[in-house]
Amino acid sequence: MSRELETPTTFPTEEARSLEIPDWDEYTASLPWKVMLSPVDPTKGIVEAWSWIEQEVVRALCSDREVGDHIVVGPAGFCSREGAGNGIYVACSGEPEAAKRILEAYKDRLPRDADIIVDKGFLQDVASQMPLASVQRNAPERPSTTLHPMNANYQMLADMGASIGTVGAASSGTLGCYVVDPEGSWFGITNCHVLEPSEVSKEPLPRTLNPGGEISSPSGQDHGIVLAQLITEKKKAQEKFRGQFFRFLEDTDQHVTVRKGLKAAVLQAEQMVKEYKKKDRMFGSVLKGFRGVVDGAWVDVAIMAVKNERRGDNFITYNDQSLAVTGWEEPSAGTLVLKIGRSTKDTYGTILGQFSRICKLRDDSNAKKSVLVTKEWAITSDPKVSRLPGLHFMDRGDSGSAIVRRPNSSEQKVPAVGLLFGGFVGQKVPDLAFFTPAGRVAGALQKLSGVYLAPACDATVPAFKFQEYELKHTPPETEEVLGDDTAQDQQGESGVVAVEDVPDIDWTEKQYDLFRDL
Q: What is the largest CA-CA distance in the chain?
A: 90
pLDDT (0 to 100) of residue 49? 92
Burial of 269 (0-12, 13-18, 19+ CB in 10 A): buried
d(CA 506, CA 518): 19
Q: Are 340 and 394 in contact (CB under 8 A)?
A: no
481-515 per-position pLDDT tens digit:
434 333 333 333 333 333 334 333 232 332 323 22
Whole-number Å distance between alpha carbons of 281 and 264: 28
Helices 220-244 and 253-278 sit at what angle, rounded to 10 degrees? 160
CA dihedral 342, 431, 324, 331 (to 10 degrees): -130
Q: Which of 90-94, 150-154, 237-241 has the lowest mean pLDDT?
A: 150-154
pLDDT at 377: 95
CA contacts within 13 A on the Cβ side of 329 = 18
Give the three-state DSSP class for 297.
strand
- Among the ranges given (55-59, 120-124, 300-304, 450-454), the one the predictor scored with the smallest mean pLDDT: 120-124
Query: In this predicted structure, what is the pLDDT of residue 419?
Result: 97
Could you tell me the pLDDT band of residue 131, with boundaries at 50, 70 and 90?
very low
% of residues, the chain, pLDDT over 70: 73
**pLDDT 10s digits, 311-350:** 999 999 888 888 999 999 999 988 999 999 998 888 888 8
Whether the per-residue pLDDT at 141 is higher than 60: the answer is no
Query: Which residues lie closer than 8 Å to 376 by C-beta, 6 or more apart?
Result: 72, 297, 298, 354, 355, 357, 434, 435
pTM over 0.85: no
Q: Which of 14-28, 145-159, 170-184 has the lowest mean pLDDT?
A: 14-28
What gap in Å lies between CA 420 and CA 73, rounded to an integer? Answer: 19
pLDDT at 78: 73
Element (H, E) at 436: strand 433-437
- The pLDDT score that the predictor gives to residue 389 is 54
CB 436 within 8 A of CB 309: no
Q: Which pLDDT band, with edges at 50, 70 and 90, does 225 fall under?
A: confident
The most confident of 145-149, 173-177, 422-426, by mean pLDDT: 173-177
What pLDDT does 426 receive?
67
Q: What is the DSSP letter of 109?
A: G
Kindly give, in sequence order, each residue whose CB lies less than 8 Å from that of residue 70, ignoring residues fewer than 6 positions away: 92, 93, 358, 359, 360, 424, 496, 498, 500
Residue 431 · residue 378 · CB < 8 Å: no
